[in-house]
Amino acid sequence: MIDLDAYSDTTRELWRLMNPCTLCPRKCNVNRSEGQTGSCGIGEMPVVSSAGPHFGEESVLVGRGGSGTIFFAGCNLGCIFCQNYDISHLRHGRQVTIEKLAQSMLELQAYGCSNINFVTPTHVVPAIAAALETARKKGMSLPTVYNTGGYDSVETLKLLKGLIDIYMPDAKYADAEAADQLSAAPDYPEINFAAVKEMHRQVGDLQVEKGLATQGLLIRHLVLPNNLAGSVEVIDFLAGEISPHTTINVMAQYRPCYHADSYPEVNRRPSLDEITSARRYAKQKGLNVLD
């Protein structure tokens, strides 16, 4: 149990949203501070799988020292093809204190990382907010990256205003049936589109200085075989309802993992034509497509 009186109103409000837990759209209503867990499988304190400089992220996040990634175990989505299932579904990692999490951020900064990149943060934002407060008081000044599967509630996101500099959500699906079958989240499209709107409202289009992102929205869209990701609809939404200057990474690296072999439609890589079509369409719509 942490001493919440030592933290800001925002952090205390995030903690309150965890008891009973309505932090994310699952709204499990479990009391996580009493040891109960919901769909994400994580209690009050976060479980960290790894923390360190990462050079495989988008080049605007990497720079010379890498992106300072902190991978959180557990996830509020149930993607049957998850490439990190040992972290998200099997929840491999170690539980950390707020002080330890803050210390990790300071160490990543001292190492020379370009930012602090919270990977799969949605279900542990109370601890992230508390640790950020602590780290910033001790001199942590790097931009923060919210690297999310994109199933986030607007109410929670509003509390992150000022804490997060770069939002990097997935936009996984535009179709409820695909979202239900592949990620157990039939409301993903409407939730995701509302979340992306709130993120853009807070930070705007992606700003890049000397090759490094400093603030803004960066969308990740993983092309799935058989158009299950609804690439055209996702791109139309971004161009029409977010900004024609939205930065997007149209990702080609899908490969069948975890339980994907039980679903014939996703049990193959997307074809070159499927990938290039999605990229071409995003460019036609004027989006800033990362190479």
Q: Identify residue 276 by its one-letter amino acid code.
A: T
Among 7, 26, 61, 193, contact with ligand SF4 (rule: CB under 6 A): 26
Q: Does 200 bind ligand SF4 (CB under 6 A)?
A: no
Q: Which is nearer to ligand SF4, 21 or 213 (CB)?
A: 21
SS3 208: strand
User: Does residue number 24 form part of the binding site for ligand SF4 (CB under 6 A)?
Assistant: yes
CB of 214 to ligand SF4, least distance (A): 29
Q: Which residue has the tokens 């943060």?
A: 121
Helix H or strand E segment including 51 = strand 47-54
Instruction: With CB under 6 A as the rule, give the number of residues binding ligand SF4.
Output: 13
Contacts with ligand SF4, 50-89, as mask; x by CB under 6 A: --------------------------x-------------
Identify whether the C-beta of residue 67 lies closer than 8 Å to the C-beta of residue 114: yes
Is 149 an interacting residue with respect to ligand SF4 (CB under 6 A)?
no
Q: Output phi, psi for 226, to 5 deg.
A: 60, 30
Degrees, nearest 5: CA angle 291-173-167? 55
CA distance 111 to 204: 29
In angstroms, what is the minimal distance from the CB of 30 to ligand SF4? 6
Angle between the N-to-C axes of helices 125-137 and 98-111, in degrees from 0 to 180, rounded to the nearest 10: 60
Q: Does 125 bind ligand SF4 (CB under 6 A)?
A: no
Contact positions with ligand SF4 (CB under 6 A) in 27-46: 27-28, 30, 38-40
Q: Which of 14, 21, 235, 289 binds ligand SF4 (CB under 6 A)?
A: 21
Query: 270 preceded by cis ω (within 30°)?
Result: no
Q: Catalog residues that contact ligand SF4 under the rule CB under 6 A.
A: 21-24, 26-28, 30, 38-40, 76, 123
